[in-house]
Amino acid sequence: MLSSQTKDQANHECMLRLKKHGLTPESIVVTDSAVLQKLIYPVGFYKNKTRFIKEMSQILIDQYGGDIPNNIEGLLKLPGVGKKMAHLCMRSAWNIVTGIGVDTHVHRIANWLKWVPKETKNPEETRQALEKWLPYEMWDEVNHMLVGFGQTICTSRFPRCNDCLNASICPARGKQPIRSTPIKKEVKMEDLEF
């Protein structure tokens, strides 16, 4: 839940703080909201996520013995959990692939690469389109593979097409302003002064 709209580094640091504080539904429920907000800041929408985390923690205690549901339907009933998060959670927690976790990066890249038959308007449409043709065995890899690629190379603004190994076959190349990445000059030992 915390990773949505949040850079990986900020999410990682937040998780370290939460683990140090005590990352169980029981410890979250008794933590004051102001303290929890400080623990998860600067994740995106930290105030809403604080409320969702506290509500979810109470539900997990009351209905699931402090664990999380082991099915999509149960996960989707939790505050702040959508289909992407539910599918990723099923894979991470229960090692069950129930669908492709499509976030903004997967949505954008799938459209740019024409992996969907027609342009999709949102991540859920993209998920449905991808699941129609991608073999089930590949569903698990799509999110992991494309999120990092979308964060570093195939960015929404100024993609790094000059650094991309797929540039020569990419149908989207040139449709977005491209970031010019300077070529690193090779330094020779004899050019160094000591």
Catalytic residue among 49, 54, 84, 175: 84
Dmax (CA) of the chain: 69
Is residue 188 annotated as part of the catalytic site, yes or no?
Answer: no
Give the active site residues: 84
